[in-house]
Structure 1
Amino acid sequence: MSGNNKQESATKNDPSNSDSDEEEVFHDARYPAEEEAGLLDQSNTHKFAANKLFSSSRYSEAITTYDRALSFCPNYLDYEIAVLRSNVAACHLKLEDWKAAVDAATASIDRLDKALPPPQTHKESQASLEKGGNDDGGAVVELLDGDGEDESEEAQLKRLRDEDARREDVKRIRAKALMRRARAKMELGGWANLQGAEEDYKALLGMGNLPGQDERAVRKALRELPVRINAAREKEMGEMMGKLKDLGNGILKPFGLSTDNFKFVQDEKTGGYNMSFEK
């Protein structure tokens, strides 16, 4: 039985769980350390096999194998699941399945947000402070005194180094997932997708950890996107207005009228529109 299925079974068989908190319990239920390590080993075995399939350009088979890796990975290991989802997104990009690539990359980013929430923007930090929150973005982490503490100074230093390493890993995978989602949205096109791609590229540029080649690609996309976004907006607005006009003509036709009988003139002073009727 796979890791996620066993977790689900354990949750359903516990009579103390109510429907209202089933999802939370499902995510928080943990295996004993030894069993978790065994499941993670099986997941990694499938992941390495999928990586080889990807390198051999066997992308559909790689997706299936990544899915097997996901089935063994305990559901609460957000970072490990995020890596697998990001890899699945890379496969879909190769297959030019842009929608599936967006979905997989988004699933990866959602997991990374659980593993390590993205840093707040200046505006978000100010809003948090106004609401009584704490702005810990620039806080210095202090070591606890050894007296009376279970954790030695050496153990604290190791834990802090491990936490720093995990933060860097999360940032690296986040950058990959954002790059993959942005590219897929660019390929999908359309006003909303292109705006989403622009937001992802701006987020990437603000992360400050992009390799030179990726940074150049991001800057190039950000130069090109405004023109594409404006064109897509005008096209979609035109299509929407055309549909509204057809609807209006259908309503007005029984009265011998059409939308051409109504003229809208913009008021230069207020920016609003005045409507006039012409026979």
Structure 2
Amino acid sequence: MSSSTAPTGFSSYEQPIFPPEEESSLLSQSHAEKASANSTFTTGSYTSALQLYEKALSLCPTYLEYDIAVLHSNISACHLKLSEWKAAVDSATKALDALDRVDPPAPTVVQDITPETKVRIAALQRTGHTLHDVYKLRTKTLLRRAKARRELKTWASLQSAYEDYQALSRPPHQLGSLDARAVREALRELPVHLEEAKNAEMKEMMGKLKNLGNGILKPFGLSTDNFQFVKDEKTGAYSMNMTR
């Protein structure tokens, strides 16, 4: 495939920009595969839909960040349906990263917008999308990532899910009534699950440390049961006593 150089004034932009005719052709092919994937998804054939979305992704010019984000978000939806939680998180994160490149999350003034961001915004407008579309897709994708992180049920993933739900509860995210209720319920329930996961993982870690200690002490006829940690209530420090 041939490609043109970056537009004048955007020479620092590393990704090649395709000529208009080639860009339009590639995008049309990508959209056709995406349409097939959408239809396949509605039939419940999520693995087949996933493959079609990935084909659409391979055809889409990489600088068309919004279209790339849509595909990654739809891939995340497939992984959710397949209960592939980690893959769902990874794909949703790729979609959110692409959206952040179009609409940087940190507040900026016009003169601080980089040439790369200008190229991406121009591509967004050229393909008929707006920043409002970006906001809507970000909300949808964040909901998908939060759900996947919650389903992973580890201490770290639950904490990350809680942060996603906190973000969703604040502007500029605009939620429908069902999603808003789901977010409120998640924010109410997650602290309990977080504490449970924390305690379970700490217990598992202490068990592994105990087994390791027993392996080291066994040749000496000792075990971790021979040692007792006593807390000094005045200082909060611990001392170790040996018992028999």
So what's the TM-score if we normalise by structure 2? 0.83
Candidates 204, 216, 236, aligned match of 1:251: 216
Are 2:162 and 1:198 aligned? yes
Which residues of 2 match residues 1-279 of structure 1 at below 5 A?
6=1, 28-119=15-106, 136=109, 166-207=130-171, 208-279=173-244
Residue 77 of structure 1 aligns with an amino acid whose one-letter code is: L
Q: Which residue of 2 aligns with 1:144?
A: none
3-state DSSP of counterpart to 1:75: coil
Q: Distance in 2 between matches of 1:270 and 1:166?
A: 60
> Aligned equivalents of 2:165 and 2:236: distance in 1?
33
Partner AA of 1:229 in structure 2: L
Q: What amino acid does structure 2 have at the position aligned with 1:226?
A: P
* Separation in structure 1 between the aligned mates of residue 67 and residue 233 of structure 2, nearest angstrom: 58
In the TM superposition, what is the alpha-carbon distance from 1:96 to its structure 2 partner?
A: 1.8
What is the CA-CA distance between 1:214 and the residue it aligns to? Answer: 0.6
Partners of 2:69 and 2:237 in 1: CA distance: 48
Residues 45-70 of structure 1 deviation map (CA, whole Å, 9 limit, x = unaligned): 11112111112222222111111111
**How many Å separate the matches in 2 of 1:265 and 1:230?**
24
Q: CA deviation at 1:179?
A: 0.7
Q: Which residue of 2 aligns with 1:16?
A: none
Deviation at 1:99, TM superposition (A): 2.1
- Aligned residue type for 2:103: L
Cα distance in 2, alignment partners of residues 241 and 55 from structure 1: 46
Counterpart CA distance in 2 for 1:41 and 1:94 is: 27
Structure 2 CA distance, aligned partners of 1:270 and 1:218? 42
- CA drift of 1:271 comes to 2.5
Q: Structure 1 residue 170: deviation in Å?
A: 1.3
- Give the whole-Å Cα distance in 1 for the aligned partners of 2:53 and 2:217: 57
Structure 2 residue matching 1:28: 3-state secondary structure: coil
Cα deviation per residue 1:153-191 (whole Å; 9 max; x = unaligned)?
xxxxxx9xx69x622211111111111111112122111
Quote the sequence identity (%): 53
Alpha-carbon deviation of 1:212?
A: 1.8
- Letter of the structure 1 residue corresponding to residue 210 of structure 2: K
Report the residue type matching 1:166 in the other structure.
Answer: T
- Aligned with 2:37: secondary structure? helix
Alpha-carbon distance between aligned partners in 1 of 2:41 and 2:15, rounded to the nearest angstrom: 32
**Residue type of the partner of 1:94?**
K
Query: Where in structure 1 do 4 or more consecutive aligned residues deviate above 3 Å?
Result: none
CA RMSD of aligned residues (A): 2.2
Q: Please state how far the C-alpha of 1:259 moved relative to its aligned partner.
A: 1.3
